[in-house]
Amino acid sequence: MASYAPGHAASQTKHHEWRTAENSAAHLLPHLDTLARTKPNLKLLDVGAGSGTISAGLAAHIPHGTVLATDISDDILTRAAAHATSLGITNISFQRASLPNLPFPDGTFDVVHAHQVLTHLSDPAGAVRELVRMCAPGGVVALREVDMHMWCFWPAVDALQKFQGLMADVLVANGGQDEAGRRLVSYALAAGVERKQVEAGFGTWCYSAPEDRKAWGGSMIERLKTSQMRSKGIELGIVTEEGVGEMIKAWEQWIENDEATLGIMNGEVIIKK
Amino acid sequence: MASYAPGHAASQTKHHEWRTAENSAAHLLPHLDTLARTKPNLKLLDVGAGSGTISAGLAAHIPHGTVLATDISDDILTRAAAHATSLGITNISFQRASLPNLPFPDGTFDVVHAHQVLTHLSDPAGAVRELVRMCAPGGVVALREVDMHMWCFWPAVDALQKFQGLMADVLVANGGQDEAGRRLVSYALAAGVERKQVEAGFGTWCYSAPEDRKAWGGSMIERLKTSQMRSKGIELGIVTEEGVGEMIKAWEQWIENDEATLGIMNGEVIIKK
């Protein structure tokens, strides 16, 4: 991809920084432990690392290994590097690179990780082929992608359901995938992987505790006020200014409601090379 | 509840036996470990234990504690007891009992667990109040309930989506809840629990590996052929004989499709007493 359509506005970045290796890459951690037992100095590639909070957590998890975090944006990588430095993490480096063609020879890495990357691509299966190419025999490719239709709201008010629809529609209008979460196995098979190499599961994010509602809901409100999602949605006729106002109000009420809960479902796949 | 509406046909029981403490009560296990460190002989009540495979796993997890598994059906408890015996598990006992009134004094148990129980009740908040009542101070109540609208199918063919709708509609027609998964926090608050006592999350089941597709899809086909869901759905005019036939065919194709995936989202709540 030539650019990251959602952009790196403060709202987007703030939400991304909530992510950790524990809450967003739990499917990979046991495989990392297994690989590190026989090869402590393993090499991990994190593609589309963004704010780099997951990358830093993965680096901390393999203290004798090394992480190379790539992204299409120099700006976000500078921020990611500062984050790692602030945590005293030194076994990580950063390099600008873009799918579908990454500048690394076949089998360079023991682990190739991509989180919320395929969702933004027009050829997700082609991207999986490239990720698998760079993985060494015996290694693993770990994928995790949201399914935009699996947002479980309570209360399930109309304006929040419409917000979910807006996000999905803008994603697709930008050339992305709204069902990547459920399609990870199909992408892997289309990329030439055999079914027996694939372990599939689903993981979730949950926003319900008051501080999580505030962080997530606040980020969604900022997106509605400032991000490309708003302008693109209005440009495409998916939403009106008035509709955006109703969504903002619905999120504000959701943040204040102690009953409120949001679960988001992500597909997770481990490909064993 | 006076009876378990879905029934204990072979299809229902077979699917229930796929469940383990690890794949269906992972949210409780760390709390069990914490409690067992200070009180190894802790007492756990498992309400609506059904086939008892989760109950047996919980008993194995607390070898110095005891599990009391209840259900409304003597037949299923006999089966559950045989399962525990076959595993050599001796720290478990069984007793017939029905919500909303269980015959145990306040604070009898250190842990009260209910899995896919509230979903079948007309007053889930009242049931939570009863579960909390039986939990001792310092203990935990652990709940896990499906959200019937959070089934993530690939391929998302029409007959499978209709099957999902049929299940939800029959559940509601039987007096149950189709959105229990997302409502657990609201039930807890309605039961008089304070928000700060509640930890909320979501867990999933995934059926994608060939053996899991066969087990799950086969169970759904058996249900369509023999269970109360079929007769009730036809009686209510939700589905026709022809529609049932299309659903069976869709499941058969789904089982054979190596791309096929199904993720099911469950709400999970820990209430700290």
Please tell me if residue B209 touches chain A, with a CB cutoff of 8 Å: yes
Q: Which pLDDT tens digit goes with each residue over B67-123?
A: 999 999 999 999 999 999 999 999 999 999 999 989 999 999 999 999 999 999 999
Asked if residue B187 lies in contact with residue B118, where contact means CB atoms within 8 angstroms, the answer is yes
C-alpha separations of A263 from A153, A230, B150 in Å: 7, 23, 10
pLDDT at B8: 66
Query: Is the predicted ipTM greater than 0.90, yes or no?
Result: yes
Kindly determine whether residue A204 and residue B202, on different chains, have CB atoms separated by under 8 Å. Answer: yes
Domain annotation covers residue A4: no
Give CA–CA dist A267/A144, Å, rounded.
6
Angle at A258 between CA A255 and CA A264, to 5 degrees: 65
Give CA–CA dist B8/B268, Å, rounded.
24
Domain annotation covers residue B66: yes
The closest CB to that of B208, out of A147, A152, A185, belongs to: A185
Q: How many residues does chain A have?
A: 273
Give CA–CA dist B266/B201, Å, rounded.
9
Pairing verdict, β A66-71 and B109-115? unpaired
Please tell me if residue A229 touches chain B, with a CB cutoff of 8 Å: no
pLDDT of A10 > 80? The answer is: no
Domain annotation covers residue A133: yes
A1 — pLDDT class (breaks 50, 70, 90): very low
Best to test chain A binding among B161, B164, B182 (most A CBs inside 10 Å): B182
The pair of three-digit structure tokens given for residue B230, joined into one six-digit string: 């079929």
What would the mean pLDDT of A178-189 be, rounded to a whole number?
Answer: 98
- With a pLDDT cut of 90, the percent of chain B lying above it is 91
Domain annotation covers residue A1: no
Q: Which pLDDT tens digit goes with each residue over A145-158?
A: 999 999 999 999 99
Kindly determine whether residue B261 and residue A208, on different chains, have CB atoms separated by under 8 Å. Answer: no
**Domain boundaries, position A79:** 10-272
- Consecutive H or E run containing A24: helix A21-24
What's the number of domains chain B is made of? 1
What would the mean pLDDT of A250-258 be, rounded to a whole number?
Answer: 98
Mean pLDDT, chain A, whole residue set: 94
Q: What is the largest CA-CA distance in chain A?
A: 58
Cα atoms found within 13 Å of the Cα of residue A2, Cβ hemisphere only: 2
Please tell me if residue A210 touches chain B, with a CB cutoff of 8 Å: yes
Give CA–CA dist A133/A107, Å, rounded.
6
Kindly determine whether residue A263 and residue B154, on different chains, have CB atoms separated by under 8 Å. Answer: no
The closest CB to that of A261, out of B149, B182, B261, belongs to: B182
Domain annotation covers residue B2: no
Q: Which pLDDT tens digit goes with each residue over A93-116?
A: 999 999 998 999 999 999 999 999
pLDDT at A227: 87
Of chain B residues 96-155, which have a CB less than 8 A from chain A?
A: 147, 149-150, 152-154
The pair of three-digit structure tokens given for residue B116, joined into one six-digit string: 């896919």
Nearest residue of A to residue B187, measured between CA atoms: A259
Give CA–CA dist B155/B228, Å, rounded.
26
The closest CB to that of B258, out of A154, A182, A189, belongs to: A189
Phi, psi dihedral angles at B93 (to 5 degrees) = -135, 170
Q: Which pLDDT tens digit goes with each residue over A30-57?
A: 999 999 999 999 999 999 999 999 999 9
pLDDT at A9: 64
Read out DSSP for B132-177?
HHTEEEEEEEEEEEEEEEEEEEES--HHHHHHHHHHHHHHHHTT--
B212 CA: distance to closest CA in chain A (Å)? 11
What is the amino acid identity at position A142?
A
Please tell me if residue B212 touches chain A, with a CB cutoff of 8 Å: no
Q: Give the DSSP letter of residue A196.
A: G
CATH number of the domain bearing residue B118: 3.40.50.150
Q: What are the start-end ranges of the E strands in B5-163?
A: 43-47, 66-71, 92-96, 109-115, 135-154
The closest CB to that of A265, out of B200, B259, B263, belongs to: B263
- With a pLDDT cut of 90, the percent of chain A lying above it is 91
**Mean pLDDT, each 10-residue run in order, chain B (273 residues):** 63 72 96 97 97 97 98 95 96 96 97 98 98 98 97 96 96 97 98 98 97 94 92 94 97 98 98 97
Asked if residue B221 lies in contact with residue B253, where contact means CB atoms within 8 angstroms, the answer is no
B98 CA: distance to closest CA in chain A (Å)? 27
Question: A-chain residues within 8 Å CB-CB of B202?
Answer: 152, 204, 206, 263, 265
Domain annotation covers residue B1: no
Domain annotation covers residue B178: yes
B23 CA: distance to closest CA in chain A (Å)? 11
Asked if residue A181 lies in contact with residue A145, where contact means CB atoms within 8 angstroms, the answer is yes
Kindly determine whether residue A156 and residue B179, on different chains, have CB atoms separated by under 8 Å. Answer: yes
Kindly determine whether residue A204 and residue B200, on different chains, have CB atoms separated by under 8 Å. Answer: no
